[in-house]
Amino acid sequence: MGRRRRRVDRGAAVGALPKAIAALSRTLPAGPSPEIFRRAKFDRPEAAPALWQLLFRVLSPLSADGASASPAQEAQVRAVKSELRSQGYPRRALAQLPEDGSQGSRELLLALAWLLARGPLLERLLAQTRVRLGDEIPLCECEALARPGAPVPRVEADGPVDIRHLQWLMGKLRFQWRKLITSQQEQCALLGKIHSYTRGCHSDRSLGHLSVAETELLRDAEGGQQLLRRLESENVCLEAALRWRRQELVFWRWMDTVLGTCPPEASQPTFVPRIPERGAGEWELVARELQALQEELRGAAEPRRAAWEARVGGWGPEWSAVQRASREAVGLELAALQRAWERGGAAAQPHGPCRLVKSDAGASGGPGLRAAQVIEVLRSREACLEAVLCQLQRQCRQELARLAGALPGLIWILPPGR
Protein backbone atom coordinates (compact mmCIF):
# COMPACT_ATOMS: atom_id res chain seq x y z
CA MET A 1 0.00 0.00 0.00
CA GLY A 2 2.65 2.45 1.13
CA ARG A 3 4.85 1.42 -1.70
CA ARG A 4 2.15 2.03 -4.28
CA ARG A 5 1.41 5.42 -2.82
CA ARG A 6 5.06 6.32 -2.97
CA ARG A 7 5.19 5.19 -6.59
CA VAL A 8 2.16 7.31 -7.38
CA ASP A 9 3.72 10.24 -5.62
CA ARG A 10 6.95 9.81 -7.51
CA GLY A 11 5.01 9.52 -10.75
CA ALA A 12 3.20 12.78 -10.01
CA ALA A 13 6.46 14.40 -9.03
CA VAL A 14 8.18 13.28 -12.23
CA GLY A 15 5.49 14.96 -14.31
CA ALA A 16 5.44 18.10 -12.17
CA LEU A 17 9.14 18.93 -12.54
CA PRO A 18 9.25 19.42 -16.32
CA LYS A 19 6.06 21.48 -16.06
CA ALA A 20 7.58 23.69 -13.39
CA ILE A 21 10.77 24.15 -15.37
CA ALA A 22 8.77 24.84 -18.53
CA ALA A 23 6.84 27.53 -16.69
CA LEU A 24 10.06 29.05 -15.38
CA SER A 25 11.58 28.95 -18.83
CA ARG A 26 8.57 30.63 -20.41
CA THR A 27 8.86 33.47 -17.95
CA LEU A 28 12.57 34.07 -18.55
CA PRO A 29 13.96 35.76 -21.65
CA ALA A 30 15.71 33.21 -23.90
CA GLY A 31 14.56 30.42 -21.59
CA PRO A 32 15.90 26.99 -22.66
CA SER A 33 13.86 23.80 -22.76
CA PRO A 34 13.44 21.52 -19.68
CA GLU A 35 15.70 19.00 -21.42
CA ILE A 36 18.59 21.47 -21.17
CA PHE A 37 18.00 21.79 -17.45
CA ARG A 38 18.03 18.01 -17.07
CA ARG A 39 21.29 17.69 -18.96
CA ALA A 40 22.79 20.48 -16.92
CA LYS A 41 22.24 18.50 -13.73
CA PHE A 42 24.67 15.97 -15.13
CA ASP A 43 27.04 18.68 -16.32
CA ARG A 44 26.60 17.77 -19.98
CA PRO A 45 28.61 20.16 -22.16
CA GLU A 46 25.89 20.59 -24.79
CA ALA A 47 23.71 22.35 -22.27
CA ALA A 48 26.29 25.02 -21.53
CA PRO A 49 25.83 27.50 -24.43
CA ALA A 50 22.09 27.86 -23.86
CA LEU A 51 22.62 28.50 -20.15
CA TRP A 52 25.38 31.07 -20.79
CA GLN A 53 22.97 32.88 -23.10
CA LEU A 54 20.20 32.74 -20.53
CA LEU A 55 22.37 34.13 -17.77
CA PHE A 56 23.64 36.85 -20.07
CA ARG A 57 20.13 37.96 -20.91
CA VAL A 58 19.06 37.85 -17.29
CA LEU A 59 22.03 39.78 -15.96
CA SER A 60 22.66 42.39 -18.64
CA PRO A 61 20.95 45.74 -18.36
CA LEU A 62 17.81 46.17 -20.36
CA SER A 63 18.53 46.79 -24.04
CA ALA A 64 15.85 48.40 -26.16
CA ASP A 65 13.45 45.56 -27.00
CA GLY A 66 16.36 43.19 -27.47
CA ALA A 67 17.10 44.88 -30.75
CA SER A 68 20.88 44.76 -30.66
CA ALA A 69 22.54 41.50 -31.67
CA SER A 70 23.98 39.63 -28.73
CA PRO A 71 27.77 39.82 -28.52
CA ALA A 72 30.19 36.98 -29.18
CA GLN A 73 30.35 33.96 -26.90
CA GLU A 74 33.53 35.04 -25.08
CA ALA A 75 32.14 38.48 -24.42
CA GLN A 76 28.96 36.98 -23.02
CA VAL A 77 30.91 34.63 -20.77
CA ARG A 78 33.10 37.43 -19.47
CA ALA A 79 30.12 39.67 -18.85
CA VAL A 80 28.27 36.98 -16.92
CA LYS A 81 31.30 36.17 -14.79
CA SER A 82 31.94 39.80 -13.96
CA GLU A 83 28.33 40.54 -13.11
CA LEU A 84 28.01 37.50 -10.86
CA ARG A 85 31.23 38.41 -9.13
CA SER A 86 30.05 41.92 -8.46
CA GLN A 87 26.81 40.56 -7.03
CA GLY A 88 28.79 38.39 -4.65
CA TYR A 89 28.31 34.94 -6.13
CA PRO A 90 30.26 32.60 -3.83
CA ARG A 91 31.19 29.60 -5.96
CA ARG A 92 34.67 29.88 -7.40
CA ALA A 93 34.15 27.03 -9.81
CA LEU A 94 32.15 29.30 -12.10
CA ALA A 95 34.90 31.85 -12.36
CA GLN A 96 37.22 29.13 -13.59
CA LEU A 97 35.03 27.96 -16.44
CA PRO A 98 36.55 28.30 -19.93
CA GLU A 99 35.60 31.37 -21.92
CA ASP A 100 34.55 29.54 -25.04
CA GLY A 101 31.36 28.65 -23.23
CA SER A 102 31.67 24.94 -23.83
CA GLN A 103 31.51 23.66 -20.28
CA GLY A 104 30.05 24.07 -16.87
CA SER A 105 26.33 23.67 -17.38
CA ARG A 106 25.85 22.43 -13.82
CA GLU A 107 27.61 25.45 -12.37
CA LEU A 108 25.47 27.69 -14.54
CA LEU A 109 22.34 25.99 -13.33
CA LEU A 110 23.43 26.57 -9.75
CA ALA A 111 24.12 30.21 -10.53
CA LEU A 112 20.65 30.62 -12.00
CA ALA A 113 19.07 29.06 -8.93
CA TRP A 114 21.14 31.35 -6.71
CA LEU A 115 19.89 34.41 -8.59
CA LEU A 116 16.29 33.19 -8.39
CA ALA A 117 16.54 32.53 -4.70
CA ARG A 118 18.22 35.82 -3.83
CA GLY A 119 15.65 38.29 -4.85
CA PRO A 120 12.62 39.01 -6.98
CA LEU A 121 14.38 38.21 -10.24
CA LEU A 122 11.32 37.23 -12.27
CA GLU A 123 9.30 40.19 -11.05
CA ARG A 124 12.12 42.55 -11.97
CA LEU A 125 12.53 41.05 -15.44
CA LEU A 126 8.80 41.16 -16.10
CA ALA A 127 8.62 44.76 -14.90
CA GLN A 128 11.43 45.76 -17.24
CA THR A 129 9.73 44.32 -20.32
CA ARG A 130 6.22 45.44 -19.44
CA VAL A 131 4.15 46.88 -22.24
CA ARG A 132 3.45 50.46 -21.30
CA LEU A 133 0.31 52.10 -22.54
CA GLY A 134 0.56 55.37 -20.70
CA ASP A 135 2.95 58.27 -20.97
CA GLU A 136 5.56 57.44 -18.43
CA ILE A 137 7.99 59.62 -16.56
CA PRO A 138 10.61 58.32 -14.17
CA LEU A 139 10.30 59.51 -10.60
CA CYS A 140 13.65 58.42 -9.30
CA GLU A 141 17.05 57.65 -10.73
CA CYS A 142 17.99 54.62 -8.64
CA GLU A 143 17.42 52.08 -11.39
CA ALA A 144 19.64 54.05 -13.74
CA LEU A 145 22.31 54.65 -11.09
CA ALA A 146 22.45 51.02 -9.96
CA ARG A 147 23.35 49.87 -13.44
CA PRO A 148 26.00 52.18 -14.81
CA GLY A 149 25.80 50.55 -18.20
CA ALA A 150 28.55 49.46 -20.56
CA PRO A 151 32.01 50.64 -19.54
CA VAL A 152 33.26 53.50 -21.67
CA PRO A 153 36.14 52.38 -23.87
CA ARG A 154 39.32 54.04 -22.71
CA VAL A 155 41.23 55.67 -25.48
CA GLU A 156 44.87 56.25 -24.76
CA ALA A 157 46.06 59.51 -26.22
CA ASP A 158 49.37 59.30 -27.99
CA GLY A 159 51.35 62.28 -26.91
CA PRO A 160 50.24 65.27 -24.87
CA VAL A 161 46.61 66.32 -25.25
CA ASP A 162 45.92 69.96 -26.00
CA ILE A 163 43.68 71.34 -23.29
CA ARG A 164 41.81 73.37 -25.87
CA HIS A 165 40.57 70.12 -27.34
CA LEU A 166 39.25 69.10 -23.95
CA GLN A 167 37.54 72.45 -23.52
CA TRP A 168 36.02 72.00 -26.97
CA LEU A 169 34.62 68.62 -26.01
CA MET A 170 33.27 69.96 -22.70
CA GLY A 171 31.53 72.73 -24.59
CA LYS A 172 29.94 70.26 -26.98
CA LEU A 173 28.65 68.26 -24.05
CA ARG A 174 27.12 71.37 -22.56
CA PHE A 175 25.37 72.24 -25.80
CA GLN A 176 24.00 68.73 -26.07
CA TRP A 177 22.76 68.96 -22.52
CA ARG A 178 20.92 72.15 -23.34
CA LYS A 179 19.47 70.61 -26.49
CA LEU A 180 18.24 67.71 -24.39
CA ILE A 181 16.49 70.00 -21.95
CA THR A 182 14.88 71.92 -24.80
CA SER A 183 13.65 68.67 -26.32
CA GLN A 184 12.20 67.62 -23.00
CA GLN A 185 10.39 70.93 -22.72
CA GLU A 186 8.98 70.41 -26.19
CA GLN A 187 7.87 66.92 -25.28
CA CYS A 188 6.08 68.23 -22.21
CA ALA A 189 4.32 70.93 -24.20
CA LEU A 190 3.15 68.42 -26.81
CA LEU A 191 2.04 65.90 -24.20
CA GLY A 192 0.02 68.66 -22.57
CA LYS A 193 -1.68 69.36 -25.87
CA ILE A 194 -2.55 65.71 -26.52
CA HIS A 195 -3.88 65.27 -23.02
CA SER A 196 -6.07 68.36 -23.32
CA TYR A 197 -7.39 67.53 -26.78
CA THR A 198 -8.36 63.95 -25.90
CA ARG A 199 -10.13 64.80 -22.68
CA GLY A 200 -13.20 62.67 -22.20
CA CYS A 201 -12.14 60.01 -24.69
CA HIS A 202 -10.87 57.35 -22.32
CA SER A 203 -13.15 54.58 -21.20
CA ASP A 204 -11.45 54.59 -17.82
CA ARG A 205 -13.02 57.59 -16.07
CA SER A 206 -10.25 57.94 -13.53
CA LEU A 207 -7.74 58.56 -16.34
CA GLY A 208 -10.00 60.73 -18.42
CA HIS A 209 -7.79 61.27 -21.45
CA LEU A 210 -5.67 59.28 -23.86
CA SER A 211 -1.95 58.80 -23.80
CA VAL A 212 0.24 59.04 -26.88
CA ALA A 213 0.29 55.25 -27.34
CA GLU A 214 -3.47 55.07 -27.07
CA THR A 215 -3.93 57.92 -29.52
CA GLU A 216 -1.61 56.19 -31.97
CA LEU A 217 -3.70 53.07 -31.54
CA LEU A 218 -6.71 54.91 -32.82
CA ARG A 219 -4.89 56.51 -35.72
CA ASP A 220 -2.88 53.57 -36.97
CA ALA A 221 -4.54 50.18 -37.34
CA GLU A 222 -1.36 48.27 -38.09
CA GLY A 223 0.30 49.66 -34.99
CA GLY A 224 -2.75 48.62 -33.02
CA GLN A 225 -2.38 45.04 -34.20
CA GLN A 226 1.26 45.03 -33.15
CA LEU A 227 0.39 46.38 -29.74
CA LEU A 228 -2.26 43.71 -29.33
CA ARG A 229 0.26 41.02 -30.20
CA ARG A 230 2.72 42.39 -27.64
CA LEU A 231 0.04 42.42 -24.99
CA GLU A 232 -0.89 38.84 -25.79
CA SER A 233 2.65 37.61 -25.51
CA GLU A 234 3.02 39.50 -22.25
CA ASN A 235 -0.09 37.72 -20.97
CA VAL A 236 1.44 34.36 -21.82
CA CYS A 237 4.54 35.29 -19.82
CA LEU A 238 2.49 36.40 -16.85
CA GLU A 239 0.42 33.23 -16.84
CA ALA A 240 3.63 31.21 -16.99
CA ALA A 241 4.94 33.18 -14.02
CA LEU A 242 1.81 32.35 -12.02
CA ARG A 243 2.15 28.69 -12.90
CA TRP A 244 5.76 28.80 -11.81
CA ARG A 245 4.85 30.29 -8.45
CA ARG A 246 2.43 27.45 -7.79
CA GLN A 247 4.93 24.75 -8.73
CA GLU A 248 8.32 26.09 -7.75
CA LEU A 249 8.70 23.93 -4.64
CA VAL A 250 9.26 20.93 -6.91
CA PHE A 251 12.08 22.80 -8.63
CA TRP A 252 13.85 23.67 -5.39
CA ARG A 253 13.72 20.11 -4.17
CA TRP A 254 15.29 19.07 -7.44
CA MET A 255 17.98 21.74 -7.16
CA ASP A 256 19.00 20.21 -3.84
CA THR A 257 19.78 17.01 -5.72
CA VAL A 258 21.75 18.98 -8.30
CA LEU A 259 23.86 20.46 -5.55
CA GLY A 260 24.33 16.99 -4.19
CA THR A 261 25.86 15.77 -7.45
CA CYS A 262 28.59 18.40 -7.32
CA PRO A 263 32.05 17.38 -6.15
CA PRO A 264 33.10 19.13 -2.94
CA GLU A 265 34.88 22.37 -3.72
CA ALA A 266 38.62 22.10 -3.25
CA SER A 267 39.90 24.99 -1.21
CA GLN A 268 42.31 26.95 -3.35
CA PRO A 269 43.87 30.01 -1.82
CA THR A 270 44.61 31.69 -5.12
CA PHE A 271 43.37 31.33 -8.65
CA VAL A 272 46.04 29.55 -10.62
CA PRO A 273 45.70 29.53 -14.40
CA ARG A 274 45.92 26.16 -16.05
CA ILE A 275 49.34 25.64 -17.54
CA PRO A 276 49.35 23.68 -20.76
CA GLU A 277 51.47 20.52 -20.76
CA ARG A 278 53.55 21.62 -23.69
CA GLY A 279 56.27 24.00 -22.58
CA ALA A 280 55.73 23.29 -18.93
CA GLY A 281 59.46 23.56 -18.36
CA GLU A 282 59.55 27.06 -19.79
CA TRP A 283 56.63 28.09 -17.66
CA GLU A 284 58.44 26.91 -14.57
CA LEU A 285 61.44 28.96 -15.52
CA VAL A 286 59.30 32.03 -16.01
CA ALA A 287 57.50 31.41 -12.73
CA ARG A 288 60.81 31.15 -10.90
CA GLU A 289 62.11 34.33 -12.47
CA LEU A 290 58.91 36.17 -11.56
CA GLN A 291 59.20 35.03 -8.00
CA ALA A 292 62.80 36.18 -7.82
CA LEU A 293 61.81 39.57 -9.22
CA GLN A 294 59.05 39.85 -6.68
CA GLU A 295 61.49 39.19 -3.82
CA GLU A 296 63.86 41.79 -5.22
CA LEU A 297 61.08 44.38 -5.49
CA ARG A 298 59.92 43.70 -1.99
CA GLY A 299 63.48 44.04 -0.74
CA ALA A 300 63.82 47.39 -2.52
CA ALA A 301 60.41 48.78 -1.62
CA GLU A 302 60.29 48.03 2.09
CA PRO A 303 63.17 50.24 3.26
CA ARG A 304 61.89 53.08 1.01
CA ARG A 305 58.41 52.87 2.42
CA ALA A 306 59.78 52.79 5.94
CA ALA A 307 61.93 55.85 5.21
CA TRP A 308 58.98 57.76 3.72
CA GLU A 309 56.78 56.92 6.63
CA ALA A 310 59.45 58.05 9.01
CA ARG A 311 59.70 61.35 7.10
CA VAL A 312 56.02 62.13 7.16
CA GLY A 313 55.98 61.29 10.80
CA GLY A 314 54.57 57.91 11.48
CA TRP A 315 51.58 57.97 9.16
CA GLY A 316 51.04 54.30 9.69
CA PRO A 317 48.45 54.02 12.39
CA GLU A 318 47.52 57.72 12.21
CA TRP A 319 46.83 57.57 8.50
CA SER A 320 44.40 54.69 8.82
CA ALA A 321 42.74 56.56 11.66
CA VAL A 322 42.44 59.62 9.41
CA GLN A 323 41.04 57.44 6.65
CA ARG A 324 38.52 55.90 8.98
CA ALA A 325 37.51 59.28 10.29
CA SER A 326 36.99 60.75 6.82
CA ARG A 327 35.06 57.70 5.72
CA GLU A 328 32.81 58.07 8.73
CA ALA A 329 32.37 61.77 8.04
CA VAL A 330 31.32 61.07 4.46
CA GLY A 331 28.94 58.40 5.66
CA LEU A 332 27.39 60.81 8.14
CA GLU A 333 27.02 63.52 5.50
CA LEU A 334 25.37 61.10 3.10
CA ALA A 335 22.98 59.89 5.78
CA ALA A 336 22.14 63.49 6.71
CA LEU A 337 21.47 64.27 3.07
CA GLN A 338 19.19 61.30 2.71
CA ARG A 339 17.35 62.20 5.90
CA ALA A 340 16.86 65.73 4.63
CA TRP A 341 15.45 64.31 1.43
CA GLU A 342 13.11 62.02 3.29
CA ARG A 343 11.96 64.81 5.55
CA GLY A 344 11.24 67.06 2.59
CA GLY A 345 9.37 64.35 0.75
CA ALA A 346 6.04 62.72 1.34
CA ALA A 347 5.79 59.01 2.07
CA ALA A 348 8.38 57.01 0.16
CA GLN A 349 8.16 57.78 -3.54
CA PRO A 350 7.52 54.80 -5.77
CA HIS A 351 10.49 53.66 -7.76
CA GLY A 352 10.48 53.40 -11.51
CA PRO A 353 8.28 55.20 -14.03
CA CYS A 354 4.76 56.40 -13.35
CA ARG A 355 1.95 57.18 -15.75
CA LEU A 356 1.26 60.86 -16.44
CA VAL A 357 -2.38 61.84 -16.06
CA LYS A 358 -3.70 65.35 -16.54
CA SER A 359 -6.66 66.17 -14.35
CA ASP A 360 -8.63 69.31 -13.60
CA ALA A 361 -7.39 71.57 -10.89
CA GLY A 362 -10.23 70.94 -8.49
CA ALA A 363 -10.36 67.17 -8.95
CA SER A 364 -10.48 65.27 -5.70
CA GLY A 365 -7.55 63.03 -4.94
CA GLY A 366 -7.48 59.65 -6.59
CA PRO A 367 -4.66 57.18 -6.21
CA GLY A 368 -1.17 58.30 -7.13
CA LEU A 369 0.94 61.36 -6.54
CA ARG A 370 0.18 64.97 -7.27
CA ALA A 371 2.71 66.69 -9.47
CA ALA A 372 2.98 69.51 -6.94
CA GLN A 373 4.15 67.09 -4.28
CA VAL A 374 6.74 65.54 -6.54
CA ILE A 375 7.97 68.98 -7.54
CA GLU A 376 8.30 69.96 -3.90
CA VAL A 377 10.36 66.89 -3.11
CA LEU A 378 12.61 67.51 -6.11
CA ARG A 379 13.03 71.16 -5.13
CA SER A 380 14.09 70.33 -1.61
CA ARG A 381 16.59 67.80 -2.95
CA GLU A 382 17.87 70.39 -5.37
CA ALA A 383 18.33 72.83 -2.49
CA CYS A 384 20.31 70.26 -0.52
CA LEU A 385 22.55 69.49 -3.46
CA GLU A 386 23.06 73.18 -4.20
CA ALA A 387 24.17 73.73 -0.63
CA VAL A 388 26.68 70.93 -0.93
CA LEU A 389 27.86 72.31 -4.28
CA CYS A 390 28.34 75.78 -2.82
CA GLN A 391 30.36 74.36 0.01
CA LEU A 392 32.58 72.40 -2.33
CA GLN A 393 33.06 75.46 -4.55
CA ARG A 394 34.04 77.49 -1.50
CA GLN A 395 36.60 74.88 -0.58
CA CYS A 396 37.94 74.94 -4.14
CA ARG A 397 38.24 78.71 -4.07
CA GLN A 398 40.09 78.62 -0.77
CA GLU A 399 42.46 76.02 -2.15
CA LEU A 400 43.06 78.11 -5.27
CA ALA A 401 43.70 81.19 -3.18
CA ARG A 402 46.18 79.25 -1.11
CA LEU A 403 47.97 78.01 -4.22
CA ALA A 404 48.00 81.49 -5.75
CA GLY A 405 49.49 82.88 -2.60
CA ALA A 406 52.18 80.22 -2.50
CA LEU A 407 53.61 81.22 -5.90
CA PRO A 408 54.29 84.95 -5.72
CA GLY A 409 55.58 85.45 -9.25
CA LEU A 410 52.47 84.01 -10.89
CA ILE A 411 49.47 85.95 -12.16
CA TRP A 412 46.17 84.13 -12.38
CA ILE A 413 43.82 85.19 -15.17
CA LEU A 414 40.32 83.87 -14.67
CA PRO A 415 38.22 82.81 -17.66
CA PRO A 416 35.50 85.24 -18.82
CA GLY A 417 32.38 84.54 -16.82
CA ARG A 418 30.25 86.33 -14.26
Partner 1 sequence: MSIVTVQLGQCGNQIGFEVFDALYSDSHCPQGLCSKRENEVYQASCKERFFSEEENGVPIARAVLVDMEPKVINQTLSKAAQSGRWKYGQHSCFCQKQGSGNNWAYGYSVHGPRHEESIMNLIQKEVEKCDCLSGFFIIMSMAGGTGSGLGAFVTQNLQDHYSNSLKMNQIIWPYGTGEVIVQNYNSILTLSHLYRSSDALLVHENDAVHKICAKLMNIKQISFSDINQVLAHQLGSVFQPTYSMEGSYHYRRNPLGELMENLVPHPEFKMLGIRNIPQMSENSLAYSTFTWAGLLKHLRQMLISNSKMEEGIDWQVRPPLSRLPTLGKVSLNRELHFNTSIANLVILRGKDVHSADLGGFKDPALYTSWLAPVNAFNVWKTQRAFSKYEKSAALVSNSQFLLKPLDTIVGKAWNMFASKAYIHQYTKFGIEEEDFLDSFTLLEQVVASYCNL
CB of 174 to partner 1, least distance (A): 7
Tell the smallest beta-carbon distance from residue 187 to partner 1 (Å): 9
| Count of beta carbons in the 10 Å neighbourhood of residue 191 | 16
Q: In whole angstroms, what is the distance from residue 52 CA to residue 118 CA?
A: 19
Q: How far is CA 273 from the centre of its chain?
A: 29
- In the list 162, 220, 296, 328, the residue contacting partner 1 (rule: CB under 8 A) is 162
Which of 7, 10, 165, 370: binder of partner 1 (CB under 8 A)? 165
Shortest Å, Cβ 192 to partner 1: 10
What minimum distance in Å lies between the beta carbon of 417 and partner 1? 6
Task: Give min distance, CB of 186 to partner 1, in A.
Answer: 4
DSSP structure string for 70-94:
P--HHHHHHHHHHHHHHHT---HHH
Q: Tell me the Ramachandran region of residue 169: left when phi exceeds 0, alpha when psi lies from -120 to 50, beta otherwise.
A: alpha
Residue 366: what residue type?
Answer: G
Distance, CA of 144 to CA of 201 (rounded, Å): 34
Measured in degrees and rounded to the nearest 5, phi and psi for residue 402 equal: -65, -45
Judged by beta carbon, residue 183 or residue 291, the one nearer partner 1 is: 183
* 135 membership: H or E segment, kind and range: none
User: With CB under 8 A as the contact rule, which of the stretches 46-54, 162-170, 257-265, 390-398 interacts with partner 1?
Assistant: 162-170
List, in order, residues 6 or more apart from 377 with CB less than 8 Å away: 341, 344, 345, 346, 349
- SS3 per-residue string spanning 183-227: HHHHHHHHHHHHHHHCCCCCCCCCCCCCCHHHHHHHHCHHHHHHH
Shortest Å distance, C-beta 42 to partner 1? 55
5 lies in the site for partner 1, by CB under 8 A = no
The 31-70 contact track toward partner 1, x by CB under 8 A, reads ----------------------------------------
Binding mask 167-206 for partner 1 (x = CB under 8 A): xxxxxx-xxx-xx-xxx-xx--xx----------------
How far apart CA 401 and CA 393 sit, in angstroms, is 12
Q: Is 418 in the site for partner 1 (CB under 8 A)?
A: yes
Spell out a b/e string for 388-399, using b for 16 or more CB atoms within 10 Å of the CB, else e: eeeeeeeeeeee
- What number of other Cβ atoms are within 10 A of residue 52's Cβ? 24
By beta-carbon proximity to partner 1, the closer residue of 180 and 300 is: 180
Q: Which is nearer to partner 1, 65 or 156 (CB)?
A: 156
* Shortest distance (Å) from residue 177 CB to partner 1: 8
Total of residues contacting partner 1 (CB under 8 A): 26
Nearer to partner 1, 151 or 159 (CB): 159
Q: Nearest Cα to 30, choosing from 84, 70, 87?
A: 70
- Contact residue for partner 1 among 3, 4, 154, 164 (CB under 8 A): 164
Cβ 141 to partner 1, closest distance in Å?
A: 20
Q: Which is nearer to partner 1, 61 or 171 (CB)?
A: 171
Q: Is 386 in the site for partner 1 (CB under 8 A)?
A: no
Helix (H, G, I), strand (E, B) or coil at 355: strand
Closest approach of partner 1 to the CB of residue 334, in Å: 29
Contact residues for partner 1, defined by CB under 8 A: 162, 164-165, 167-172, 174-176, 178-179, 181-183, 185-186, 189-190, 413, 415-418
